[in-house]
Amino acid sequence: MRRLIVAVVLLLAGNAWGADPVVLPVVIPQDSLVIVIPQFGIPAIPTLDRAYRAGGTITVNATDIIFNLTSTQDFIIQDNGTPIFTVLDSGTISIGGDVTMANGKWIGAGSGKGQIVFDDSNDEIEILNAQLGVGTSSPDTLGHFVSATSTELRLETSGASDPTLSFKTTNTANQINVFLDENLGNDRLVVQGMTAGVGTDFQVEAVTGQVATLRLRSGTVASTITQSATQLVLKHLLLDGDIIFQVNDGGSNTSALIIDGATTNISLPADNQQLEFGLATDYTIQWDNPNTDALHTITSGTFAFMGGNFGAGTASPNAPLEVKGALPGNVGGFPSGHFHVTGDGTAQFSNSVITGHSAYNTNTQLWYLGSMSSSNDNICFINRQDGDVHFYTNDTFRMVIDANGNVGIGLIPTANMAGLSIEAGLLTLKETTTPTADTNYAKLWTTSDNELFFQDGAGGNHLLHGDAFSNIWFHAAGTVEVAISTQNAFTKIDSFAVVGNEDDLAHLVGSAAANTLTLSSIADGEYEISFHASITATGGADKEMVIVLGITLAVPLDITNVTDDLVTPIVITSVAHGLENGDMVEIAGVLVNTAANGSFIVASKADDTFEIVALDGSATTGNGDYDEGTPTGNVTIEYPGNMVVHREVRGATLGAISATGLHVLAGSDVLALYVANLDGTTNLTVHAVSFDAFRIGD
């Protein structure tokens, strides 16, 4: 191998270039090329076209130094005998023995080491067997870029094509391209799968135990998508910022779902939107909130659950809708149920409404349950169709209200069964008091004293059974005297000893001690009354006597006026007294004009007045001016004129008397027999007597 050694000789100041070579004070080896370089700059360096030659030429001008070796020679620059720059005759360049380039194609440390390859055939520059470091002397990846300020790795196309970064695996031929797409007007980075038959994933992966976050930023506003070991979190970092999900609806972007950043409400803002859950069997849709007052509200539109069963409070509903759980407490002061329906209107039929529908013949409303008044306090159940409403208990038919409003209990009413029909034939009534009458409506009720009443449309009350009867009587081997102390005055016959048969409801009660028959407070009505007796006048003399039924009135007839002193006859004023001429009365309580007190016959009666006549037929005359103070006086006992026996009672011969009559009595009236002696005060001797009454109607 032949070498080219270049010796650099400094041209000292004061020397001049000439046509001949400069004589050097050094020994120049054979086949060496000498280059003379001035020490100081000179105005012009002429072309050196003659030099010591060693198989080549050197041309020096103002801009270039050209070495032209004409044979297989090396070009070497040494430093203290060590080559630092070598150009072999093959064209290989070695700098310090570390970087080489063969045949104009590569620079590197040799085969199998890091190389930069210049591939002319494919117009490529290739880096082989090495890691590329830019800004760093210790790259730890295939490409390592370091900058103290900012790092920019740019892919740029000179034409309209998208700049593309491609990732490809040789062993599987999978490939993904990442490129800038500006076709839609926005800067868009596209991750495009290029492998046929497989999908494309974009994955952000953190080390175990850490979260993976994808951050999206627009200026200072940012959002994140974060995956931890247990949660995926989509977060808007702006205060009160909304999260909006949009779809392309007919060419325009439509907000399909909005999560409000201020309220955290979730809304479906567009018209006719539906929230659908397409779930497999046994999947659960569940809302969990530690706030027991949390509201899940649909303010308008429709919430449709299509197919399957919906459970509130239960994970295994057995019906299209099942509500289960603890009662929610009181609502409006009353225990609340599980299912609340509340309307928002005040008009009739607007509140608390549930309706049932049938779709067999279009969409037909079958029934309605809800309010029926403007106050929404009145609740009704309405059958909207021409059908019956049936009621069952224990899975057995119990009652029906037919389309005509007829009610059947235990049966379905036939065409002739109007109103209420009871299959069992038993009507149970709670005991109550006399109801208030309603014109044109009758009522049926029973009372606590075991009476059944009927009230007509005019308000008349009628006892519906005749179980009101009693009797008292006397008969013995001896006789009983009735003491008469005053002439022309009635005395009660007190000879009774036995109470006979009477009703078990105690509507008419006999008393041998009191010698009376007493009506209960509800036993008013029409009665048949009779008495029979065998009598004589005590002492043997015949006497004119009157034996009569006396009715002590439960409500005495009030006297409001009496004629004054010396007026004959005495006239009594008692509004609507109801007495008849021939009746007899007992008057008590008249003040000052005391001649009006006693037993009298009624005469010259008018609606509100009547005259009183003494029992012997003599006229009555007042003995003082009537005092209208308290008391004013009352008719206490009525002696009906149709129950009078007026006769001469024999003193030595036994006589028989009897009387029967019909009388309308009021509740709590008291019946007794009375006798008056018109001839003196001779007593009445009773040998036998009976007295009875029984109710025959209202």
Give the chain's domain count. Answer: 5
| DSSP tag of 73 | E
Q: Tell me, what amino acid is at 311?
A: G
Mean pLDDT calculated for residue range 658-679: 97
Q: Is residue 384 part of a domain?
A: yes
Clarify whether residues 676 and 535 are in a common domain: yes
Return d(Cα 371, Cα 356) in angstroms, integer.
15
> In Å, what is the CA distance from 138 to each residue of 98, 99, 112, 133?
18, 18, 19, 7
Please give the angle made by the CA atoms of 274, 279 and 280, to the nearest 5 degrees. Answer: 160
550 HSE (CA, 13 A, CB side): 25
Task: Domain of residue 375: give its range.
Answer: 366-415
Under 8 Å CB-to-CB from 18, ≥6 apart: which residues?
none
For residue 80, what pLDDT is reported? 80
Return d(Cα 225, Cα 243) in angstroms, integer.
12
CB of 532 within 8 A of CB of 656? yes
CB of 627 within 8 A of CB of 599? no
For residue 47, what pLDDT is reported? 43
Q: Tell me, what amino acid is at 491?
A: T
Instruction: Assign 227 a pLDDT band (cuts: 50, 70, 90).
Output: confident
Q: Is residue 212 part of a domain?
A: no
Mean pLDDT of the chain: 80
Give the 3-state DSSP-derived string for 208-274, with helices as H, strands as E and coil as C.
Answer: CCCCEEEEEEECCEEEEEEECCCCEEEEECCCCCCEEEEEEECCEEEEEEEECCCCCCEECCCCCCC
Mean pLDDT calculated for residue range 383-389: 88
For residue 396, what pLDDT is reported? 95
Q: Is residue 433 part of a domain?
A: yes
Largest CA distance in the chain: 217
Q: Is residue 247 part of a domain?
A: no
Mean pLDDT calculated for residue range 400-408: 93
Buried b (16+ CB within 10 A) or exposed e, 504-513: ebebbbbebe
> In Å, what is the CA distance from 228 to each residue of 223, 225, 286, 287?
16, 10, 22, 22
Clarify whether residues 379 and 393 are in a common domain: yes
For residue 42, what pLDDT is reported? 46
Single out the residue in 346, 381, 415 at which a domain terminates. 415
pLDDT in tens, 565-579: 999 999 999 999 999
pLDDT in tens, 610-663: 999 999 999 999 999 998 888 899 999 999 999 999 999 999 999 999 999 999
**What CATH code is carried by the domain that includes residue 565?**
2.40.30
Q: What percent of the chain shows pLDDT beyond 70? A: 77
Mean pLDDT calculated for residue range 528-549: 97
Q: Is residue 445 part of a domain?
A: yes
Is the pLDDT at 688 greater than 50? The verdict is yes
For residue 10, what pLDDT is reported? 46
**What CATH code is carried by the domain that includes residue 501?**
2.60.120.40
Of 249, 693, 664, the closest CA to residue 470 belongs to 693
Tokens of 519: 């009506």
Return d(Cα 226, Cα 239) in angstroms, integer.
18
Clarify whether residues 453 and 476 are in a common domain: no
- Residue written as tokens 């449709």? 304
Q: Is residue 128 part of a domain?
A: no
Which is higher by pLDDT, 652 or 24?
652
Return d(Cα 128, Cα 653) in angstroms, integer.
169
Clarify whether residues 459 and 605 are in a common domain: no
Tokens of 216: 């999206």
